[in-house]
């Protein structure tokens, strides 16, 4: 028996290198954190090493660095063979910088260095900019000096038997005397004899075994063959869907070639159940791709976030949250309105689209969802009658929806600001006739005109109490700074019976004779009222109130931070239990109700003028305490 081996050269390599990039025939190099923005004040040199006998070919697929003249700030510097191949920055199409675009970089030896450098910041005209960095692929390119070495992978043998072909045979028994057996890839290709030569065939292998068996007789002339080698080819990549893109598709792929698959905008690569950031497949020495083709799945933004005091509708198919789906947020009107700025309409501010990033985004505010802010001073059922508290008609539900009923050292009043603040008088928390205390129980009730019903609606716990620093509890005749804020533990839900009142913004709300309303659960005809009452009072002339105080021989402080209201001839005024409530004025120009004062002090009930904390002078303090509220 004669055993012949056809062995075709194969490439081999030794492992070595000075950095964590292993010696591979292909791979990728990225900036830190890619595709997220890269860090500032950073420098790193990566050495790409391929096996001896190969050169390094490098090409950039993504490149997004801070542009600068001469690439002085952020840059990628490519070096090989003790030479600088280039220094690059910017992006394709940017007026500054020097992007590498589709240029291929080739080393003469088996190493190439990439130095990635960033400065201390990425700032343009005072705005912090974010750049993704870069994604580059490298490939080992054969220098051909290994062609004569044995056992080369990635080549296939083509066999062609030549005439004459003569091996002894038998008419009735298949190849009983002499025979030629051919093996490739571990399988028997066939057993041959006679004068019919085997058909030409491609072994799809870099090694073929020929076993020639002969007996001790015969006069056949034998056989001869011609063989050639050809580099292994892989099948043309076939996408699994219409959204997958093969970058730079070639007409033919052979051993060590690779292709890169990406997706159309709004889709992401998926391999099994795993989402891929990138995909590269390499043609192997057996003519197969080392990875199966992935598929492209549409980006899913997930269910939109819920909007407090609002909701959303789908502008596209309901319940579909994938790429290019659109929703419209809206607020629960008329009690809330959407916070906007820069002249943007509520419709535009509430429009969100599922983006290619897989995130719901608004054109102006990005991924931040809108806020629904309380609408102030817009009662659904505003007061129409002109009655007084003492002996007056009961207020109807919705007449004074900002009215708070407090119980601290007794009954008191207050007004809702926003959806979690109560405006009241400081003396309801620190009465002039009590010692200074900071641990009093504060009960706050909202949302009704009946004491019995409002207390059934449950107490609103108070998180924090803010007293104006000018208030002096120990000065019985000085109500300067008689203002306090109660921050509720939780925001309240607004509705027709529970709405905030607005704050003043100009002095016209204090013009002499301007009519305002005071409401409360205070004393009525020397008895506590169990229903909300209201009175209509004019703003009084300051000189008249000063004269009245002198007439009554009072030395109470009447400062510029106070105003007075009422008419002694009408014998109408707020009374005990109304303290902390507000003097409410209709702003006819803006069709809203404004709190201009807080019920502060007076002389008895219905005996003359009432004195109020002038809220216009405390608006800045209120806003500072309510910091973050719009």
Q: What is the DSSP annotation of 457-495?
A: T----EEEEEE-TT--TT-TT--TT--EEEEESSPPPPB
What is the Cα–Cα distance from 512 to 543, expressed in whole angstroms?
Answer: 11
Beta bridge partners of 331: 310
For residues 150 and 10, the answer to whether their CB atoms sit within 8 Å is: yes
Is residue 466 annotated as involved in ligand binding? no
Is residue 66 annotated as involved in ligand binding? yes
Is residue 508 helix, strand or coil?
helix
Say which residue the tokens 């892989």 belong to.
234
* C-alpha neighbours within 13 Å on the C-beta side of residue 243: 15
What is the Cα–Cα distance from 568 to 608, expressed in whole angstroms?
Answer: 4
Residues 169, 285, 419, 482: which is the catalytic one? 482
Smallest Cα–Cα separation from 368: which of 329, 335, 419, 322? 329
Residues 427, 448, 460, 468: which is the catalytic one? 427
For residues 442 and 485, the answer to whether their CB atoms sit within 8 Å is: no
Is residue 178 annotated as involved in ligand binding? yes
Interacting residues of 144 by C-beta distance below 8 A, sequence separation 6+: none
13's tokens = 């390599």
Is residue 511 annotated as involved in ligand binding? no
C-alpha radius of gyration, the chain, whole number: 44
- Which letter does DSSP use for residue 394 in this model? B
Is residue 285 annotated as involved in ligand binding? no
Smallest Cα–Cα separation from 566: which of 528, 532, 533, 599? 599
Is residue 419 annotated as involved in ligand binding? no
Torsion, Cα of 321, 323, 324, 330 (10° steps): 30
427 classed as catalytic: yes
Residues shown for the chain: 630
Is residue 578 annotated as involved in ligand binding? no
285 classed as catalytic: no
Say which residue the tokens 């005024």 belong to.
573
What is the Cα–Cα distance from 193 to 175, expressed in whole angstroms?
Answer: 6
579 classed as catalytic: yes
What is the Cα–Cα distance from 296 to 20, expressed in whole angstroms?
Answer: 31
Is residue 271 annotated as involved in ligand binding? no
56's tokens = 């390094």
Peptide bond just before 213 cis, omega within 30 deg: no
For residues 266 and 299, the answer to whether their CB atoms sit within 8 Å is: yes
Is residue 625 annotated as involved in ligand binding? no
For residues 271 and 217, the answer to whether their CB atoms sit within 8 Å is: no
Smallest Cα–Cα separation from 66: which of 41, 45, 34, 96? 96
* C-alpha neighbours within 13 Å on the C-beta side of residue 533: 24
What is the Cα–Cα distance from 555 to 553, expressed in whole angstroms?
Answer: 7
376's tokens = 């102030």
* C-alpha neighbours within 13 Å on the C-beta side of residue 590: 15
For residues 585 and 513, the answer to whether their CB atoms sit within 8 Å is: no
Instruction: Compute CA distances 179 → 163, 184, 577, whole Å.
Output: 17, 17, 120
Catalytically annotated residues: 427, 482, 579
Binding residues for Ca(2+): 66, 74, 119, 121, 142, 145, 178, 215, 217
Binding residues: 66, 74, 119, 121, 142, 145, 178, 215, 217
């Amino acid at each position: 028996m004669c055993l012949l081996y056809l062995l075709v050269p194969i490439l081999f390599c030794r492992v070595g290198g000075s950095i964590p990039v292993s010696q591979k025939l292909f791979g990728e190099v990225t900036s830190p954190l890619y595709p997220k923005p890269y860090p500032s004040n950073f420098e790193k040199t990566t050495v790409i090493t391929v096996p001896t006998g190969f050169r390094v070919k490098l090409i950039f697929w993504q490149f997004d660095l801070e542009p600068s003249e001469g690439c002085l700030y952020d840059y990628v510097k490519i070096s090989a063979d003790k030479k600088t191949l280039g220094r690059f920055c910017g992006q394709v199409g940017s007026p500054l910088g020097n992007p590498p675009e589709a240029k291929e970089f080739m080393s003469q030896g088996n190493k190439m260095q990439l130095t990635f450098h960033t400065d201390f910041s990425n700032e343009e005209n005072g705005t912090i900019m974010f750049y993704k960095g870069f994604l580059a692929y490298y490939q080992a390119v054969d220098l051909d000096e290994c062609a004569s070495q044995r056992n080369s992978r990635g080549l296939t043998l083509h066999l062609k038997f030549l005439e004459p072909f003569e091996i002894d045979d038998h008419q009735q028994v298949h190849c009983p005397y002499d025979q030629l057996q051919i093996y490739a890839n571990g399988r028997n290709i066939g057993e041959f004899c006679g004068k019919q030569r085997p058909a030409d065939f491609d072994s799809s292998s870099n090694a073929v075994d020929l076993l020639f068996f002969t007996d001790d007789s015969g006069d056949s002339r034998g056989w001869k063959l011609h063989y050639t080698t050809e580099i292994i080819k892989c099948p043309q990549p076939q996408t699994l869907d219409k959204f997958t893109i093969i970058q730079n598709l070639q007409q033919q792929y052979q051993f060590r070639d690779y292709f890169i698959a990406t997706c159309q905008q709004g889709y992401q690569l998926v391999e099994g159940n795993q989402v891929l950031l990138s995909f590269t497949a390499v043609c192997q020495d057996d003519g197969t791709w080392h990875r199966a083709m992935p598929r492209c799945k549409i980006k899913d933004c997930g269910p939109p976030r819920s909007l407090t005091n609002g909701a959303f509708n789908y502008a596209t198919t309901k319940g579909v949250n994938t790429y290019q789906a659109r929703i419209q947020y809206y607020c629960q009107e008329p009690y809330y309105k959407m916070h906007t700025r820069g002249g943007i309409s509520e419709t535009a501010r509430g429009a969100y689209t599922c983006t290619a990033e897989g995130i719901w985004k608004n054109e102006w505010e990005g991924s931040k969802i809108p806020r629904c802010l309380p609408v102030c001073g817009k009662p659904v059922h505003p007061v129409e009658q002109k009655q007084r508290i003492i002996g007056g008609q009961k207020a109807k539900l919705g007449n004074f929806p900002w009215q708070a009923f407090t119980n601290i050292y007794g009954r008191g009043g207050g007004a809702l600001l926003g959806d979690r603040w109560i405006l009241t008088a400081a003396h309801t928390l620190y009465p002039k006739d009590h010692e200074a205390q900071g641990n009093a129980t504060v009960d706050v009730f909202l949302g009704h005109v009946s004491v019995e019903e409002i207390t059934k609606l449950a107490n609103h716990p108070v998180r924090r109490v803010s007293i104006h620093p000018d208030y002096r509890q120990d000065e019985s005749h000085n109500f300067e700074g008689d203002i306090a804020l109660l921050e509720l533990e939780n925001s309240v839900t607004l509705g027709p019976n529970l709405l905030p009142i607005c704050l003043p913004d100009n002095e016209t709300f204090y013009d002499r004779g301007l009519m305002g309303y005071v409401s409360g659960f205070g004393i009525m005809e020397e008895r506590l009222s169990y229903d909300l009452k209201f009175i209509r009072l004019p703003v009084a002339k300051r000189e008249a109130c000063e004269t009245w105080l002198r007439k009554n021989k009072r030395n109470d402080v009447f400062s510029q931070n106070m105003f007075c209201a009422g008419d002694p001839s009408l014998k109408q005024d707020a009374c005990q239990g109304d303290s902390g409530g507000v003097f409410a004025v209709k702003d006819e120009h803006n069709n809203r109700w404004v709190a201009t004062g807080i019920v502060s002090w007076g002389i008895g009930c219905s005996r003359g003028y009432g004195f109020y904390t002038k809220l216009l002078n405390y608006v800045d303090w209120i806003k500072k305490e309510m910091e973050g509220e719009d």
